[in-house]
């Protein structure tokens, strides 16, 4: 099924209003990676549409045994994937099925009905990039218990608003979380230490592209760090401007280097910078 966008809108709502298909089925096609916008596969309900874009719904793809995002590495013990923005890592009280865990589990079970999967670490829902999952509990426990020792590089690429005062810096903060899940900088010694290093890669009059390396893995750490210095990440409606027009958060986990005990050496996982980032920072 193909159609050309005639009015601005968000993907799920636009399809529901313009094709004869129940919203539940459209969501299923999105979850299974069967919808393409301008030849780019997307799972985002709120993908921003503009007139002239082409939408293709692959009505056969929902039954194919493949993931709607790239597998970076897979063996009998782990699977490493490139999580899209807008997808939860694990279930919440409000969302059970549209999660990375659920989609990967379905994929593995389709190949082996006895397959299991375990989350090793997480990314925020709105952050895209590298996520490691284990296929057995022993591997999961070993990786989680030694995560800080095994992981020697956690690198992100981000696009932030404005130009930065320093081309590179090391931001050290102590973070706490409110009952409403908002992370903030503590003014005393309470909270957990968060260390964020950034370097400007490219900039224009409105935006700056950064390479970010973290020494700690705190919730919303990078988002809070950049907002605190006055350069919130583009698309960050939680810590930046609630009226930010971008439909995704411009933060992507692009490099992860970790010691893998099964082969007794380090592995470097890498993903390219999302195309949306490049368009914004021309």
Other Cβ atoms closer than 10 A to 72 = 17
- Mean pLDDT score, 37-50: 85
Distance in angstroms (rounded) separating the CA atoms of residues 126 and 156:
13
User: Do 159 and 281 meet the contact criterion of CB atoms below 8 Å apart?
Assistant: yes
pLDDT for res 33: 75
The whole domain housing 108 covers 65-145
Kindly state whether residues 95 and 183 are assigned to the same domain: no
pLDDT for res 63: 52
Kindly state whether residues 7 and 46 are assigned to the same domain: yes
Kindly state whether residues 217 and 138 are assigned to the same domain: no
pLDDT for res 93: 65
Kindly state whether residues 132 and 177 are assigned to the same domain: no
Kindly report whether the global pTM for this prediction surpasses the value 0.85.
no
pLDDT for res 96: 63
- Above pLDDT 90, what percent of the chain? 67
Kindly state whether residues 128 and 32 are assigned to the same domain: no
Backbone angles phi, psi at 31, to 5 degrees: -60, -40
Kindly state whether residues 165 and 141 are assigned to the same domain: no
User: Do 159 and 280 meet the contact criterion of CB atoms below 8 Å apart?
Assistant: yes
124 is catalytic: yes
Query: 121's torsion region: left (phi>0), alpha (psi -120 to 50) or beta?
Result: beta
Kindly state whether residues 37 and 57 are assigned to the same domain: yes
- Condensed to tens digits (0 to 9), the pLDDT of residues 217-249 reads 999 999 999 999 999 999 999 999 888 889 899
pLDDT reading at 120 higher than 90: yes
pLDDT for res 84: 93
Kindly state whether residues 246 and 165 are assigned to the same domain: yes
Q: Domain count of the chain?
A: 3
Maximum average pLDDT range among 13-22, 85-94, 216-225: 216-225
Catalytic residue among 124, 189, 205, 236: 124
């Amino acid at each position: 099924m193909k159609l050309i966008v005639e009015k601005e809108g968000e993907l799920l709502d636009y399809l529901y209003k313009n094709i004869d298909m129940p919203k539940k089925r459209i969501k299923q096609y999105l979850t299974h990676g069967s919808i393409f916008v301008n030849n780019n596969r997307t799972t985002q309900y709120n993908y921003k549409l503009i007139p002239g874009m082409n939408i293709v719904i692959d009505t056969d793809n929902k039954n194919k045994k493949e993931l709607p995002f790239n597998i970076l590495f897979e063996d009998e013990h782990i699977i490493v994937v490139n999580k899209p923005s807008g997808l939860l890592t694990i279930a919440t009280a409000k969302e059970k099925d549209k999660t990375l865990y659920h989609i990967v589990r379905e994929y593995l079970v389709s190949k082996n009905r006895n397959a299991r999967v375990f989350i090793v670490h997480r990314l925020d829902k709105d952050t895209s990039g590298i996520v490691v999952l284990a296929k057995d509990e022993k591997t999961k426990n070993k990786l989680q218990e030694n995560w800080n020792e095994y992981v020697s590089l956690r690198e992100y690429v981000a696009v932030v608003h404005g130009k930065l005062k320093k081309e590179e810096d090391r931001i050290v903060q102590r973070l706490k979380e409110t009952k409403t899940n908002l992370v903030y900088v503590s003014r005393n010694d309470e909270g957990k230490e968060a260390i964020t290093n950034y370097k400007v890669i490219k900039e224009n009059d409105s935006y700056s592209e950064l390479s970010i390396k973290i020494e700690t893995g705190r919730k919303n750490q990078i988002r809070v760090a950049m907002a605190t210095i006055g350069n919130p990440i583009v698309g960050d409606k939680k810590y930046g401007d609630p009226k930010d027009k971008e439909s995704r958060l411009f933060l992507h986990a692009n490099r992860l280097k970790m010691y893998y005990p099964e082969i007794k050496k380090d592995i470097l996982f890498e993903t390219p910078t999302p195309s949306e980032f490049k368009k914004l920072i021309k």
